[in-house]
Structure 1
Amino acid sequence: MLSERQAQAAGVALDEDMQAAVKTAPNGMTLSSLFDAKDVQDSATQLVDGTFTKESIAQITNDNISPQAEQVGALWSQRLGKTEAKVNLMHDTSWSFWLYFGNKAAKQSSGIAFVLQNDGRNTQAIARSGKGQSLGVWAGDTNSRASASDLATTAIQHSWALEFDTTVNKTSSPGAGNYYDAEGIPSQGPHIASGYPADASMYKQYGQRNKHYFALKHQQPKLMTNPADGHWRHVTIDWKVASSQLTYAFNDQNPKTRQSVTPEVQDTVTIDRKKLSADGKTPADKVTWGITGATGKFNSANQLIVLDQTPRQLHFSTLAETNIMQHMSIKRKIKEGDTVTPGETLRYVLHATANNPTQVGTLTTATALLPATSAVKRVRGHFTNDGVHALHTLNSEELLADRVDARIASRAFSVANPALAFWLKTEIQPVDHDVYVPPRKLIFSGVDHYVEVQSAGYTVQRKLNLKLECLDDKALSVEKGEDATVHARLSNAGQDVNADIVADTKVRVDVGGLTFNLNQLKGTWEGTSGKFRFKVPSRLLKPGKNNVSVQATNRKDAAEPLKIAINQRSGDLAFDTMPCNCNFKGELNGRHQMIGRDKDWQLRVRDGRGAGSSWKLQLNVSKKFTTTDGRELSGDVVYRNRKARQKLTIGDKPTVIEEQTTKEDDECVDVAQKWKDNDGVLIEVNGDAVAGDYSGELLWQLTDAP
């Protein structure tokens, strides 16, 4: 933005449109050395600093610094040292520049013209009257007594002009100077056309004696959309000496990306170089070139130009690389739109080589725009002309800045050292959301050059520390036939996730050896904070404990599986397993002793009636232990509980040996597992017991308690 001091010093109006135009202006070369903006009498043209380059914007006319004042302005090529003012038409050459026509739409400015001329006034050349429709180059139709020949003498002499005319002039009033666009295509709206301003045949006379007015015979006119909309338009012009033709393309670049687009208007025009020479007979081989513009009393506007390529400046070949490095080697070259991941090392190399280097070189200022995001850590950077020796190394403060301006001490772009480059090493940092790092720019600018190099943009992919947690307050328990609803939360290291993470997360649920996605279990995300729910249908559950595993993945990141137990209450009290065909085994020693159990006893009780329920386990001998020949064992079945210091003799009446209150909704108690070798159900034999194989029956019973 313009400062108050700068605006006052330059005579620039601090209106809203001018501020916006400067803020959005594309970058361009410094104009003050190779161009003259001051020699034209009463010129409104001023040079203004651009965002990156000083005096890179020429304000040809302004938006009413003096109300109702007609304006004219010009910017002409001038000599700089050994660099001639004139452009050589005996070689193919090119121009490219940006034009700005203000923002007044229907109340347009008059327009701007690209001019080639050999007027004797050189850089003082300007149309002598009729500022508005003359655009500063055509004759001024303000003398109603003048003939076409008289009229032509007021134009810039020995010239050719390509006009970008935003105002349709078609008022038929002698001396008003407002009828040039009355005929054909130019009468229909803003247009582009060309011609020879000092050629009397360009002007068609109307009116009566001493009350004349003129229309302009535009060559190859073409309509353009109204450009006075507050946006910049790019123009590319190519001259081919062999055919003596000039090709132009209007509105052929995107002002933000500077990428080529299909031109809005383009055409090829043949130029008679004889009409550009002083004698009118010999084809001109050199011309002064420049930009003129004008406004009328009631349609003033900010009309600006930024130059990015001219015939007399240094021209460049550029190279931009952004590489993922592995130690000192290139692992992968990044193209526009590629992705990188945290932990990777990137190296920017932005390189410009002069195609037409000078013997002694030139002084240049380097401007580097560094990656302006916390996702990219700048490690070190430097400017170099040979890839080895640093001409300027970024200090710690510069590495923290988003923009670095460095005046290169040695002369650059010489025959000995035609190239300059900027190297920057960076490290990609962890981020919790994808971050697009836009293309970065390197600019070298000086009095005779301007070059811009742009890197590729890329996206830093997020790196997540995913965690899953169950939000249900207690262990899940459902009745038989009832679905189980699970509430869970996905977080990034305990912090809420965002909508992008939710959208990219895949949740998988494993139940009973089967795998389901979230949709299959009627799962839904609750907003975008990471909370979600799903239902495990009853058909997938079995009575008792069911293990459920929840897994979440997001691209290459995965959370530790969440383990959830779902208990299905059966509503019953029952034996889960019972001792069947189990044995007691021991050797009689003729004394009173305890005979222990084999190791294959299994006795488990399942209570599916819910926490707080009670039960009792009873045991009795339903058939006494005898041998096959009927001898009865001398002894008793006993139940011993050392912890309770209790020994119970089991007879033919049910005896309570275990009782318990269930702690969970569906609980399975392994009774036999708690027995030690000398605990639980045993046989106590007397000293007179006779050895043999005995068999009997035990009856186990479960009862509600109390």
Structure 2
Amino acid sequence: MKKRWLWLMGMMAIWGLGTGIVVARASDTAVTNNLPNSFAINGIFNTTSTITGATNNATLVASNHGLQITDNQAGQNGAAWSTSDNKFDLSKNGRFSMWLYMGKNGATKSGQGMAFVMQNASATGFTNFPSSKQPAGQSLGVWGVAYNQLATDASAIAASAIPKSWALEFDEQVNDSRVGGDNDSFDYEFIYSDLQHVGSNYPAETATYVRHGSSDGGGKYFYNVAHKGAFETTLSDGAWHHLTLDWTAPTGTSNTGTMTYTLGDKNPDTGAAQTPTNTKTVEVDLSKLGINATDSTKQVYWGFTGTTGSQYANNVVAFEHIPGLVNASSTVAVTDTTTGKTITDGDSVNGNDDLTYTYKLNYDGGNQNWQNIEAQLPKPNGVSFSAGTITYADGSTEALSSSELSASSVAHTLAKSLSTANASATIKLTGKADAVTTDTTVNSTTSYFNGSNEINSVTTPSYTIYPAQQWVLALSSGSTASVQPGESVDVAGGVSMDGGTADTTTNDQITMHASLDNGHTIDDFTLNGSASDPDAHGAFHLTIPADKLTTGTNNLTLYATDDRGNKSNTVPVTITVSGTLAFKQVNPESSFTTTQLTGTSALIGRASDWDVSVDNGMGKGSTWAVTAKASDFTEKLTSAKLAGEAVWVDSQGNQHSLSQSQVVASGTNTAASQTTDIIDGWGSEGGVMLKVNSDALEGDYQGTITWTLSNTVS
């Protein structure tokens, strides 16, 4: 450390001789000609802020898409503040998304740096430095200045900072002098690392500055900034660095919110999301900004300040999102419509599969509508699009042209803005995966939706296209089968590669899918060999249990898929369950009980010699019905007709003449085969009985009952 300090002193001595020597360096001014995706910020910032004793070098560049705080010259001071219409409301959650450029010559030959600042003091602001001979330097235009090595406290330093402010610095120089009074010691805590860094605090608070005894001793002091949420990183590497600021507003009666700053969360070459280089969350006490929890408004000015010394750098900001201007979001989903699978990173599809890329843009509110949105959708390698449509929330649609779809990057400006009244647009691109012959990686791409006041982006997944494989499914057990109720069915076959292509799969990589049209389900299963050899390659066997089959025709369909989603042909199997429905027993002669006539009408019950039963072998769920019809009853010797008739007495005791057919029994099988005793089901008070009138004559009567069995219930 001592050697470093002596070297600095030597450089100071050379400068003091008035040689005018500065370190030679290459220019990076051209960076403003090549900004990342960003929107024009006309009217967002005021760059005419007065800086006492100096010129405000902040300006808009690159057709007003870039905010340049300092350019590639020594002795620069820059400040840009949001206009009154674009203040930041700290009572609401908000997000800033932007790109920062901070030179390219590293920590020893770069500028001082710049700072993101929120302040509640005035529409403009900058460090109050004494004169052009004592520049703002390490203050970055927001911290105080420390030119008095005899100051016993930091009150004068804090008083020269921007009042009522919170600052997040991007420090390109490590100011670690221990002399005091040279305004070059604010980074003393980084003295041993000599690395560029990021940190935050309240510039106008005395407690922000920490006193140390100077190397000269004798009651002299130097001060450093207490960096909160600090991290060391590389800033001046000639690359754009993405910064996301997430503000979480206070809740309830609290006056403290949090700011999360995340650096390097997007790839500077592709714009794709990536693991951040650094992220920190710090508390922000709004009372330090002169805001109370009970205040009706909590809006503050925000912007950037920056400085250069004898070393300098081009400090530029380009914006993707400013809170309150347009709040929007976007998503992308890739679907293999051939297999119905949603594709995520690391997945695969097959050549010739139908693919759909669906981009969803949502307007979530803001001071302005999301306007002039140009969709820039790089075409994934290995995919060809054949159609594209845009559907808005209001139901209107527009089509993408064939020339747009065939370009290497699909570029289309939406015909409509998005607003509260028309809050979404869905862009759907349909096409196919190429018919590749080798495994082909589809690289992830970043798609942008560049509006004139909001930039949104999404990253598509990376996946693999495999050469399509055509499987052929064939049966060895035949395409038809007939069984009796209660019997199972065995189906067997094999799966092979079409066209003589070598089959290197294993049985566990092929899944069989079987379905029945009778409402019963069959679980998927992997190839399980033959019934005699469970390890037989490419073979399968399946047993359909009897309880999954119904009487009549059962249609079974089979197909196979591999672990990459390739599908075989579909093979049908017809299974017929045949069975019998018949009377098991009908006594040829049955009688009614012998009854003595009393001169009144009566019902005569059955004797014990009745036996009528049904065998239903038509399967579970099959139905049947028995009807009965009786002839007249006549006396055996005289053939005189009985004054009465056979009747059917139902379960409610109602009598029905059997001179017409009556359903006297019915049933539905709960098993594949069942036997039902009809007579037993009637009981003693119902069923077929003989009704005799009051004028019936004594005799021995006989008649015929005809029983009819059918497989439907009338």
State TM-score, norm by structure 1.
0.53
Gaps of 5+ in 1: 1-13, 466-492, 494-500, 508-554, 558-706
The answer to whether the Cα contact below 8 Å between 2:346 and 2:462 also exists between their aligned partners in 1 is yes
Q: Per-residue deviation at 1:261?
A: 2.7
1:451 to 456, 469, 473: 456
Q: Hey, what does 1:60 align to over in structure 2?
A: 69
Whole-Å separation in 1 of the counterparts to 2:451 and 2:467: 41
Note the alpha carbon deviations across 1:334-354, whole angstroms, 9 max, x for none.
222322333222221101112
Among 310, 322, 342, the alignment partner of 2:334 is 322
1:680 aligned residue: none
CA contact (8 A) 2:37 2:320 kept: yes
Aligned to 1:294: 307
Amino acid of the structure 1 residue aligned with 2:184: N
Deviation at residue 288 of structure 1 after TM alignment:
0.7
- Residue 90 of structure 1, CA deviation: 2.1
Aligned residues of 2:350 and 2:468 also touching (Cα < 8 A):
yes
Alignment counterpart, residue 75 of structure 1, candidates 55, 74, 80: 80
Map 1:376-455 → 2, pairs under 5 A: 376-386=383-393, 389-391=396-398, 393-410=399-416, 412-455=417-460
Which amino acid in 2 is paired with 1:311? P
State yes or no: 1:111 paired with 2:113: yes
- What's 1:91 paired with? 92
Look up the match of 2:288: 275
Give the secondary-structure state (helix, strand or coil) at the position aligned to 2:137. helix
Give the Cα–Cα distance (whole angstroms) in 2 for the partners of residues 403 and 160 of structure 1. Answer: 42
Relative to 1, partners in 2 of residues 1:453 and 1:102: Cα closer, same or farther, differing over 3 Å?
same
- Secondary structure of the 2:355 match is strand
Question: Structure 1 residues 357, 86: CA separation in 2 closer, same or farther (over 3 Å shift)?
Answer: closer
> Aligned AA for 2:351?
P
Aligned mates of 1:46, 1:341 — CA distance in 2: 52
Q: In the TM superposition, what is the alpha-carbon distance from 1:37 to its structure 2 partner? A: 4.0
Q: Is the 8 A contact 1:183 1:215 kept in 2?
A: no
**Alpha-carbon shift at residue 461 of structure 1 (Å):** 2.9
Q: Which amino acid aligns with 1:177?
A: N
TM-superposed CA distance for 1:137, in Å, is 0.7
CA distance in 1, matches of 2:410, 2:88: 34
**Partner residue of 2:353?**
344
Give the conservation status (yes or no) of the 8 Å contact 1:141–1:213: no
For residues 220 and 377 of structure 1, do their structure 2 counterparts lie closer, same or farther at Cα, with a shift above 3 Å needed? closer
CA distance in 1, matches of 2:430, 2:190: 60
Distance (whole Å) between structure 1 residues aligned to residue 365 and residue 424 of structure 2 = 11
Shift of 1:221: 5.9
Q: Distance in 1 between matches of 2:403 and 2:40?
A: 27
Is 1:31 equivalent to 2:41 in the alignment?
Answer: yes
After superposition, the Cα gap between the structure-2 partners of 1:434 and 1:31, relative to the gap in structure 1 and judged at 3 Å, is: farther
Within-5 A mapping of 1:569-648: none
> Which residue identity is paired with 1:380?
A
The 1:55/1:441 distance shift into structure 2, 3 A limit, reads farther
Q: How many residues matched?
A: 441
Superposed CA offset, 1:603-631 (max 9, x none): xxxxxxxxxxxxxxxxxxxxxxxxxxxxx
The answer as to whether partners of 1:169 and 1:180 remain within 8 angstroms in 2 is: yes
Match in the other structure for 2:101: 100
Quick one: distance in 2 between partners of 1:16 and 1:221? Answer: 32
Show CA shifts across 1:460-494 (max 9, x none): 334699xxxxxxxxxxxxxxxxxxxxxxxxxxx9x
1:209-288 paired onto structure 2 within 5 Å: 214-220=222-228, 222-231=230-239, 232-242=241-251, 243=254, 244-251=256-263, 253-255=265-267, 256=270, 258-259=272-273, 261=275, 264-271=278-285, 273-277=286-290, 285-288=298-301
Compared with structure 1, are the counterparts of its residues 226 and 211 closer, same or farther at alpha carbon in structure 2 (3 Å cutoff)? farther
Taking the aligned partners of 2:319 and 2:58, their CA distance within structure 1 comes to 15
How far residue 21 of structure 1 moved from its aligned partner, in angstroms, is 8.7
- One-letter identity of the residue aligned with 2:278: E
In structure 1, C-alpha distance between the alignment counterparts of 2:298 and 2:318, rounded to whole Å: 26
Q: Does 1:334 align with 2:343?
A: yes
Map of 1:651 onto structure 2: none
In the superposition, relative to structure 1, how do residues 245 and 263 fare at CA in structure 2: closer, same or farther (>3 Å)?
farther
> Aligned partner of 1:349: which letter?
T
**The one of 157, 163, 167 aligned to 1:157:** 163
- The AA in structure 1 aligned to 2:111 is S
Deviations 1:63-118 (A, max 9, x none): x3x4xx22222332224xxxx32212222333343433333224243222221112
* SS at structure 2 position matched to 1:355: strand
1:441 offset after TM fit, Å? 4.0
Q: Could you list the runs of 5+ residues in structure 2 that have no partner in the other structure?
A: 1-24, 471-498, 506-563, 567-714
Q: Assess, with a 3 A threshold, how the Cα gap between structure 1 residues 396 and 160 changes in structure 2: closer, same or farther.
A: same
Secondary structure of 1:398 counterpart: helix
Match of 2:196 in 1: 190
Q: Is the 8 A contact 2:97 2:242 kept in 1?
A: no
Q: Is the contact between residue 141 and residue 176 of structure 1 (CA under 8 Å) also seen in structure 2?
A: yes
Structure 2: distance between partners of 1:152 and 1:281: 26
- Distance in 2, matches of 1:456 and 1:237, equals 25
Say which SS state the counterpart of residue 274 (structure 1) adopts: helix
Matches within 5 A, 1:526-541: none
Q: Which residue of 2 aligns with 1:355?
A: 364
Give the equivalent residue in structure 1 for 2:373: 365
Which residue pairs with 2:687 in the alignment? none
Distance 2:192 2:157 in 1: 20
Assess if the C-alpha contact under 8 Å between 2:384 and 2:433 holds in 1. yes
Deviation at 1:459, TM superposition (A): 2.6
8 A contact 2:373–2:414 mirrored in 1: yes
Q: Is the 8 A contact 2:125 2:162 kept in 1?
A: no
Q: Aligned pair in 2 of structure 1 residues 390, 39: CA closer, same or farther (>3 Å)? A: farther
Between 347-356 and 429-438, report the one with greater CA deviation.
429-438
Aligned runs of 1:300-311 on 2, under 5 Å?
Answer: 300-311=312-323
Shift of 1:371: 0.9
Paired residues of 1:196 and 1:202 also in contact (CA < 8 A): yes
Deviation at 1:312, TM superposition (A): 1.5
Distance of 1:189 and 1:368 partners within structure 2: 38
User: How far apart are the structure 1 equivalents of 2:369 and 2:242?
Assistant: 32
Question: 1:155 Cα deviation (Å)?
Answer: 2.3
Could you tell me which amino acid in structure 2 is paired with residue 110 of structure 1? Q
Q: In the alignment, what sits opposite 1:171?
A: 177
* 8 Å contact kept, 1:37–1:76: yes
Q: Offset at 1:252?
A: 5.7
Distance across 2 between alignment mates of 1:184 and 1:225: 12
Alpha carbon RMSD of aligned pairs, Å? 4.4
The equivalent of 2:640 in structure 1 is none
- Retained in 1: the 8 A contact 2:393–2:423? no
Instruction: Please state how far the C-alpha of 1:370 moved relative to its aligned partner.
Output: 3.4
Identity of aligned residues (%): 26
Maintained 8 Å contact 2:229/2:281:
no
